[in-house]
Amino acid sequence: MRIDILTILPELLESPFKYSIIKRAAKKGLAEIVIHNIRDFSTDKHKKVDDYSFSKGAGMVMAIQPIEAAINHLKSQREYDEIIYTTPDGVQFNQQEANGLSLKKNLIILCGHYKGVDQRVRDHFITKEYSIGDYVLTGGELAAAVIADSVVRLIPGVLSDETSALTDSFQDHLLSPPVYTRPADYKGWKVPDILLSGNEKKIDEWKHLQSVERTKKLRPDLYKKFSEGG
Ligand code: 6GU
């Protein structure tokens, strides 16, 4: 998979992809993430990427010209499956969306900024618009990093233990069960006996029950989906 990220703040996206599993995915040739500075595509003599809104008092808006140039430059090199725009007024990103994107070959993510992007960019280039939650970030860069991370880790071979992505929280609308490591007794705080029993079947039953109980208590919205089998 290749993900091209278009941003006016490339520095903000350098470190998230330099470390962790994303780096390993790149080394293994499973995923390539390329950051592009939208400013490099501006034909303005001051390399301007934004302009005043036609709606009074609405703040600055990201202009079409450099964004169209950046997208066309990429499209001339390969075909893209989706052109994603990160924005607080997008559809809320979730694990199902991540699963879907992980099957794609080439993605572009355009990071929103200021008061947003000229609506004509959304109308004519963008195929998916995502928010990562009901709160406002200063820009779409962190959202793009979140989306790329959640998608890349799902590509087969990226995680060392391939089954671990399948048992993630949310894959079946359930939160993960609690986990413990040594020591079995830390200052009197004990690991549940069942986990020390060695009875795999009983342990699996316990884990499932814990997942269900946790979900019911912490995320009644998810629990509803789980119990409806959706
Ligand atoms: Cl995608 N962008 C911004 N600026 N804020 C957000 C967001 C995106 N998702 C949640 N808040």
pLDDT tens for residues 157-176? 998 775 677 777 787 889 99
Candidates 131, 141, 146: which one to mutate for ligand 1, based on the most atoms within 8 Å of Cβ? 131
Taking residues 41-45, report their average pLDDT. Answer: 98
Q: How far is the CA of 136 from the centre of ligand 1 (A)?
A: 5
Which pLDDT does position 204 carry in this prediction?
97
| Chain segment 123-144, per-residue pLDDT in tens | 999 999 999 999 999 999 999 9
- In angstroms, the CA 146 to CA 169 distance is 16
Which pLDDT does position 95 carry in this prediction?
95
**Pocket lining for ligand 1, CB < 6 angstroms:** 86-88, 112, 130-133, 135-137, 139-140, 143
| Chain segment 66-106, per-residue pLDDT in tens | 999 999 999 999 999 999 999 999 999 999 999 999 999 99
Taking residues 195-202, report their average pLDDT. Answer: 97
Taking residues 147-154, report their average pLDDT. Answer: 95
Task: Locate the ligand 1 atom nearest the alpha carbon of residue 138 and give its number.
Answer: 4
Other C-beta atoms closer than 10 Å to the C-beta of 88 total: 16
Domains 2-152 and 169-227 share a fold: no
Give me the residue spans of the domains in the chain.
Answer: 2-152, 169-227
Q: Which CATH number fits domain 169-227: 3.50.50.60, 3.30.465.10, 1.10.1270.20, 2.60.120.620?
A: 1.10.1270.20
Classify each residue of 16-50 as buried b or exposed e, where b means 16 or more C-beta atoms within 10 Å of its C-beta: bbeeeebebbbeeeebebebbbbbebbeeeeeebb
Q: How far is the CA of 73 from the centre of ligand 1 (A)?
A: 26
Query: Mean of the per-residue pLDDT values for the chain?
Result: 94
Q: How far is the CA of 199 from the centre of ligand 1 (A)?
A: 45
Nearest to 170 by CA among 226, 229, 92: 226
Q: Would you say 191 and 185 are in contact if contact means Cβ atoms under 8 Å apart? A: yes
Which pLDDT does position 172 carry in this prediction?
84
| Chain segment 18-37, per-residue pLDDT in tens | 887 788 898 999 999 999 99
Which pLDDT does position 163 carry in this prediction?
63
Q: How far is the CA of 160 from the centre of ligand 1 (A)?
A: 31
- In angstroms, the CA 225 to CA 217 distance is 14
- In angstroms, the CA 10 to CA 37 distance is 6
Task: Locate the ligand 1 atom nearest the alpha carbon of residue 143 and give its number.
Answer: 1
The CATH class given to the 2-152 domain equals alpha beta
- In angstroms, the CA 155 to CA 112 distance is 26
The band of 230, judged by pLDDT with boundaries at 50, 70 and 90, is low
Task: Locate the ligand 1 atom nearest the alpha carbon of residue 135 and give its number.
Answer: 11
Nearest to 94 by CA among 135, 139, 149, 132: 132
Q: How far is the CA of 49 from the centre of ligand 1 (A)?
A: 19
Candidates 62, 122, 128, 132: which one to mutate for ligand 1, based on the most atoms within 8 Å of Cβ? 132
Q: How far is the CA of 78 from the centre of ligand 1 (A)?
A: 28
| Chain segment 46-63, per-residue pLDDT in tens | 999 999 999 987 789 999
